[in-house]
């Protein structure tokens, strides 16, 4: 089977997005906590666990925010304005985890290194991360 590598990927390849919000232990954690509260008040998203130690390809403490494709045009600009000096990785979720994180991602603030060798080039369609149910109940308009 020939794999066509020059064909553009369709937008429907993206099933959801993650924003990984990184922080240094210490005073930056308080800013990360504040940002998490603000997000939960304003956006229907899934706020992931706190990782105070490096996990997976991530080399700094962080937490993940998983969000739907249609939230991108409101949530990402809001993060641009309100990231509180923190580094944020925004990446799509497709069948290509390595490219999602290292080639097709965008960074707000300082770009940080990732352990790319932990990320598979391609995964089966049924293992692409589905959007988890949101655990926020926004009460404010962004
Ligand atoms: Zn992620």
- Residue 1 CA to ligand 1 center (angstroms) comes to 30
In a domain, 60, yes or no: yes
5 in a structural domain? no
Question: In angstroms, what is the span from residue 85 Cα to ligand 1's centroid?
Answer: 20
Ligand 1 centroid to 95 CA: how many Å?
13
Ligand 1 mean position, distance from CA 89 (Å):
8
Calculate how far, in angstroms, residue 18's C-alpha sits from the geometric centre of ligand 1.
5
CA distance 108 to 85: 9
* Residue at 1 is within a domain: no
Q: Decide: 17 and 67 in contact? Cβ < 8 Å.
A: yes
- Measured CA distances, 113 to 33, 46, 80, 90, 138 (Å): 23, 24, 20, 14, 32
Q: Distance from the CA of 94 to the center of ligand 1, in angstroms?
A: 11
Maximum pairwise Cα distance, the chain: 53
Give strand pairing partners of 68: none
- Kindly give the distance from the C-alpha atom of residue 124 to the centroid of ligand 1, in angstroms, as a whole number: 17
Q: Total structural domains in the chain?
A: 1
pLDDT at 1: 46
- CA 27 / ligand 1 centre spacing (Å): 24
Per-residue pLDDT at 129: 76
- Residue 8 inside a domain? The answer is no
Identify whether 63 is part of a domain: yes
Q: The pTM is what?
A: 0.92
pLDDT tens for the chain, 142 residues: list them: 445 567 888 999 999 999 999 999 888 999 999 999 999 999 999 999 999 999 999 999 999 999 999 999 999 999 999 999 999 999 999 999 999 999 999 999 999 999 999 999 999 888 877 788 899 999 999 9
The answer as to whether 107 is a domain residue is yes
CA dist., res. 128 & res. 123, Å (int): 7
Residue listed under structure tokens 């925010």: 65
- Domain membership flag for residue 132: no
Distance 57 CA to ligand 1 centre (A): 9
Is residue 52 domain-resident? Answer: yes
- The domain spanning residue 91 has which CATH number? 3.30.70.1240
Which pairs count as long-range contacts for 48-56, CB under 8 Å and 24+ apart, including other chains? 52/25, 56/115, 56/118
CB 127, CB 142: distance < 8 Å: no
Domain range for residue 100? 17-127
């Amino acid at each position: 089977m020939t794999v066509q590598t020059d064909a553009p990927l369709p937008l429907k390849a993206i099933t959801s997005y993650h924003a990984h919000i990184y922080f240094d232990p210490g005073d930056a954690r308080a800013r990360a906590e504040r940002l998490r509260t603000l997000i939960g008040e304003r956006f229907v998203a899934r706020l992931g666990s706190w990782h105070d130690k490096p996990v997976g390809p991530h080399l700094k403490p962080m937490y993940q925010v998983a969000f739907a494709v249609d939230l991108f045009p409101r949530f990402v600009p809001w993060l641009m304005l309100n990231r509180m000096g923190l580094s944020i990785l925004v990446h799509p979720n497709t069948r290509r985890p390595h490219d999602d994180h290292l080639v097709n991602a965008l960074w707000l603030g300082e770009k940080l290194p990732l352990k790319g060798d932990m990320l598979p080039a391609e995964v089966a369609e049924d293992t692409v991360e589905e959007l988890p149910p949101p655990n926020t109940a926004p009460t404010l308009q962004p």
